[in-house]
Amino acid sequence: MTTGERELTAEVDLCTATGGINPGALGWSRRPLHRANLTGYPGRNKRWDYWAVLAGDLVVSSVYADIDVLGLADVWWCDMPSARTGGTAIVTGPGEGIALPERPGTAPLRVERDGVAVSYVDEDAGTRLTGRWTEPDGSPAELDVYVALPPGHESLNVVIPWDDGRGGEFNYTSKHQARPATGTLRVGDRVWEIGGSAGDAWGVLDVGRGRWPADITWNWGGGAGRAGDHVVGLQFGAKWTEGSGYTENGVIVDGRLSKIGRELDWRYDWDEPMRPWRIVDPGGQLDVTLSPRFDKHTKLPGRDRGSETHQVFGRFAGRLRTDDGVELEFEDVQGFAEEARQEW
């Protein structure tokens, strides 16, 4: 194993009774084990489930979030060859119908208002993502995707403490990659088939539960595809984890996670995000390059710098090595990479 980080194997509370970080929660695990019992600190608690589906020329994403000061549920999609995008969002006030359970994945997440409906329903074998809305041009739209969770499929779960959590700032994340997806997206008369006969499609899940610094920058990237007879999943991040003693880095091959405890070297140009993004493990376990096809650029005003993100989607090529010494090369792994500059 290429990490000295503490591995957790039993369920644990994220917080103490007074709302601070539970020292016993610090570590990483191969499956979700944390109960995100966030209490106190009004206005500072952040809870979200974010899904993305990588389906060849099509990308679909959806978030269901309660960030204390507001609630958000959305669906976004992009047909990369045409650069056509669409979707919708619901924004609510605090406590107005958007809530997430302490144990992620244990209760349906649903919201419906003003002709828009978003739903995530988990079961042992996977998660069904559905949405219904009207596009700005009046076209009816509907999403129905099932993201399977194969038996024994591992994820990367870790708690990142800032200032060792003493200042009340920390985040639990559960990152899932390389989960097979099937379904459809319908927009007006256009139907996109996802997975199955349309080719491989993969679900990505990012669970977040914690309290963040008011101003922070992060990288996140990942993806899935095939290398010969193997299914490859990529998961990595940077910037927000530095100095914490933990990372969100790893590779998943045939459902088995190899955790990378080192910070990775990210090489890209914020001002030219459509140029290649290269992510390298200094220890030699990972060297991949993403060739972007589409940049999802978002920018929101704020009290100071505001919030801005470049999230690029494309294809990874490169190589990796698992903890048990399997070395794989690949050229066509669907994926994404981002830099987010966030003001909460």
Domain edges within the chain? 12-343
Per-residue tens of pLDDT for the chain, all 344 residues: 578 999 999 999 999 999 999 999 999 999 999 999 999 999 999 999 999 999 999 999 999 999 999 999 999 999 999 999 999 999 999 989 899 999 999 999 999 999 999 999 999 999 999 999 999 999 999 999 999 999 999 999 999 999 876 778 999 999 999 999 999 999 999 999 999 999 999 999 999 999 999 999 999 999 999 999 999 999 999 999 999 999 999 999 999 999 999 999 999 999 999 999 999 999 999 999 999 999 999 999 887 878 999 999 999 999 999 999 999 999 999 999 999 999 98
First-to-last alpha carbon distance for the chain, in angstroms, is: 36
- Give me the count of residues in the chain: 344
Q: Which amino acid is at 70?
A: L
93 within 8 A of 99, measured Cβ to Cβ: no
Closest residue by Cα to residue 169 from 160, 177, 158 = 160
- Whether 61 and 85 have beta carbons less than 8 Å apart is answered as no
Rg of the chain on CA atoms, in Å: 19
Long-range pairs of 9-13 with CB within 8 A, sequence gap ≥ 24: 9/33, 11/35, 13/37
Whether the CB-CB separation of 48 and 39 falls below 8 Å is answered with: no
Nearest-CA neighbor of 239 among 266, 207, 276, 204? 266
From the list 138, 139, 91, the residue with the least C-alpha distance to 118 is: 91
Two structure tokens written together for 180: 């097979």
What pairs with residue 248 in β-bridges? none
Output the DSSP codes for 222-277. EEEEEETTEEEEEEEEESTTTTTT---EEEEETTEEEEE-SPPEEE--TT-TTS-E
- Alpha-helical (H) ranges within 137-233 are none
Helix, strand, coil shares, percent, the chain, to 5? 5, 60, 40
Is 0.85 surpassed by the pTM of this model?
yes
Burial status of residue 137 (CB atoms within 10 A of its CB: 0-12, 13-18, 19 or more): exposed
Q: Is residue 294 within 8 Å of 78, Cβ to Cβ?
A: yes
Cα–Cα distance for residue pair 52/205, rounded to 1 Å: 7
Provide φ and ψ at 295, rounded to 5°: -110, 115
